Amino acid sequence: MECRTACPNILLPASLAGALVVPSRMSTIAVIGTLDTKGAEHAYVAELIRRRGHETWLIDVGSLGDPTVAPDIRREEVAEAAGVDFAELLAKKDRGESVTVMSIGAPIILAKLAEAGRIHGVISLGGGGGTAIGTSAMRALPTGFPKLMVSTLASGNVAPYVGVKDIVMFPSVVDVAGLNRISRQLLARAAGAICGMVEAEIPVAPDKPILVASQFGNTTACVERARKTLEAAGYEVIVFAATGTGGRTMESLIEAGLVAGVLDVTTTEWADELVGGVLSAGSTRLEAAARLGVPAVIATGCLDMVNFGPPDTIPAAFAGRCFYQHNPQVTLLRTNPEENARLGHIIAGKLNLSTGPVTVMLPLRGGSVISAPGGPFHDPTADAALFGALKATLRPGIPVHELDTVINDPAFADACAEELLRLLGSASR
C-alpha cells in the first residue's frame, strides 16, 4: 500500500506516512539489505550511524526467513514496487527470482525516497545476492549521492555492479555472516565512511555551461591545452578517461541533457569494441551527442591501439602482431589497416546520426604519442586506411578538418577548441 506525502507527484511506501522532516543538523541514511540472513549486521551499522547523530531507514530486501530486526520498509513493499505479490514470490522458493524482484523494486523505492529528500545516503552489506540488490538500488540514484556497498565481491571485477555510477565498493574481507572481531571493525569503518560522505560540505561551483572531453594518457597534452582555452571562454570542462567506463559515463551525462558541447578527441574505446580489447564502452559509443544534437568535435585519438592486460593474457589469435608494453598491467596492440578501415566506417556511421553540428578533426601525423613519427606505433598506411574510410562514409555536410600535425601538437589542440567554440556559437544563434 502506498500513500502520498506532502511532496507532490512522489509516491512513497505506506511505512513512510507521516515521517518527520529531517532537521538540517542531521541526515537520514538508508540501510538496505537482507534482514533475514544479515539482520544483525545491518542493525549494527544502523546503530553506529545513529550514534553519529543521523537517522536511518532500514529497508528489508530479504526473501527467505522472517527478518531478525524490524524494518522501516518491509520486503512486501519492495516486492509491490516491482509489481509482484510477495506471498506468491515466497511460495515459489526461488532465490534467483527473489533476487531479481528485489533488484527491480529496491531501485524504485530508493529513487523515490531520494527524490523526495527523505534520504541523503545509502549503505548496504552483502554477498552475491545482496550485492546485486544493493547496487541495483544505488545505480538508480544520481551521481554525487553518497552510496557505499560492503561486499564480499569488492576485490574482484565490480564493473557489472557499479556501472557508470559513483558507488564505493568496500571489501568485507570476511563474509558478511555474523559479528566478530574483524567484521565489527570493518563495518564500523564502513558506517563512519557513509556518515563522512553525507556530512561532507560540497562547494558550490559557478553555474557555467558544461562541456565534456575524452582523454587518454596518449592524448593528455591535447585535451589539457584545449580545456584551458574552453574554460577561458566561460565553460566548465569535465574530462573522462576513455577506459570503457569513462566513455559510458560521458555518454550518460550527455543523454541526461546536462552537456552543452562535446570535445571527443579520444575515440579509442571503439578500437577495443571492434577488436576485443578490455576497455570497450559498448556499441552505442558516440551516439548520445549525435542523437541529441549536442555540438561536437570528434577526433581519431588513440584509434591506433587496443588495450589488453599483461602479455600472458593476450589471445593467441594476435600472435605476431605489433605490441607495446604500456605498463606491467597494460599491453597495447597496434590496429592494422583492415581494422582501421572498419573503424573509419563505424565512426562515420555514428556521426551520420547527428542531428546537430559536428566536425571531424584528423591529426594526419599520428593520433597518439606512440603513433607519432619515430614512435613504435607509427604506421602511415594504417592511418590512411582510417582516414580514407571515415571520409568516404561520412554523409555530406559534416566538415572534416585535416591538420598535418600529431594530435598533441598545440596547433591541433587549439584548432579543436576553436572549432567547438564556433559550433557552440552557431548552435546558440
Same domain as 333, residue 225: yes
How far is the C-alpha of 354 from the C-alpha of 294, rounded, in Å? 8
Average pLDDT over residues 12-36: 66
How far is the C-alpha of 325 from the C-alpha of 62, rounded, in Å? 47
- Neighbour tally for 91: CB within 10 Å: 9
Same domain as 302, residue 154: no
Q: Indicate the helix (H) or strand (E) that contains 367.
A: none
Q: Which of 46-55, 59-68, 189-198, 331-340 has the lowest mean pLDDT?
A: 59-68
Domain that holds residue 355: 210-421
How far is the C-alpha of 98 from the C-alpha of 80, rounded, in Å? 12
How many Cα atoms occupy the beta-carbon half-sphere of 260 within 13 Å? 20
Q: Give yes or no for a contact between 134 and 126, defined as CB atoms under 8 angstroms apart.
A: yes
Same domain as 343, residue 224: yes
Q: Return the pLDDT at 8.
A: 31
Residue 429 in any domain: the answer is: no
Angle CA(361)–CA(366)–CA(369) in degrees, nearest 5?
A: 115
Residue 52 in any domain: the answer is: yes
Residue 398 in any domain: the answer is: yes
3-state secondary structure 270-313: HHHHHHCCCCCCCCCCCCHHHHHCCCEEEECCCCCEEEECCHHH
Q: Under DSSP, is residue 405 helix (H, G, I), strand (E, B) or coil?
A: coil
Q: Give yes or no for a contact between 123 and 30, defined as CB atoms under 8 angstroms apart.
A: yes
- Neighbour tally for 102: CB within 10 Å: 33
Residue 316 in any domain: the answer is: yes
Same domain as 214, residue 194: no
Using the 3D structure, point to which of 153, 179, 199 is the last residue of a domain. Answer: 199
Q: Return the pLDDT at 11.
A: 43
> Model pTM?
0.74
Instruction: Tell me which residue of 104, 142, 110, 108 sits closest to 123, measured CA to CA.
Output: 110
Same domain as 231, residue 170: no
Residue 378 in any domain: the answer is: yes
Q: Indicate the helix (H) or strand (E) that contains 311.
A: none
Share of the chain above pLDDT 70, in %: 93
Average pLDDT over residues 299-304: 98
Angle CA(186)–CA(187)–CA(189) in degrees, nearest 5?
A: 65
Q: Return the pLDDT at 21.
A: 37
Residue 426 in any domain: the answer is: no
Q: Which residue has the higher pLDDT, 206 or 321?
A: 321
User: pLDDT tens, 165-199?
Assistant: 899 999 999 989 889 999 999 999 999 999 999 99
Average pLDDT over residues 289-305: 98
Angle CA(280)–CA(286)–CA(291) in degrees, nearest 5?
A: 145
Q: Return the pLDDT at 12.
A: 45
CATH classification of the domain holding 193: 3.40.50.12020
Same domain as 216, residue 166: no
Residue 261 in any domain: the answer is: yes
Average pLDDT over residues 141-170: 92
pLDDT interval class at 93 (50, 70, 90): confident
Same domain as 160, residue 110: yes
Same domain as 329, residue 400: yes
How far is the C-alpha of 206 from the C-alpha of 185, rounded, in Å? 40
pLDDT interval class at 14 (50, 70, 90): very low
Q: Return the pLDDT at 365.
A: 97
CA dihedral 12→13→18→24, nearest 10 degrees, is -60
C-alpha cell at 309: 592486460
Q: Indicate the helix (H) or strand (E) that contains 325.
A: strand 323-327
Average pLDDT over residues 94-119: 94
Q: Give yes or no for a contact between 98 and 132, defined as CB atoms under 8 angstroms apart.
A: no
Q: Which residue has the higher pLDDT, 11 or 399?
A: 399
396 CB contacts (<8 Å, ≥6 apart)? Answer: none
DSSP secondary structure string for all residues of 14-33: GGGTTPPPPPTT--EEEEEE
Same domain as 240, residue 163: no
Average pLDDT, the chain: 91
Q: Give yes or no for a contact between 379 and 334, defined as CB atoms under 8 angstroms apart.
A: yes
CATH classification of the domain holding 364: 3.40.50.12030
User: pLDDT tens, 358-376?
Assistant: 999 999 999 999 999 999 9
Using the 3D structure, point to which of 163, 178, 199 is the last residue of a domain. Answer: 199
Using the 3D structure, point to which of 178, 199, 220 is the last residue of a domain. Answer: 199
Same domain as 227, residue 188: no
Angle CA(177)–CA(181)–CA(187) in degrees, nearest 5?
A: 60
Q: Which of 21-30, 31-40, 245-254, 318-327 has the lowest mean pLDDT?
A: 21-30
Q: Domain count of the chain?
A: 2
pLDDT interval class at 428 (50, 70, 90): low
Same domain as 194, residue 253: no
Same domain as 107, residue 247: no
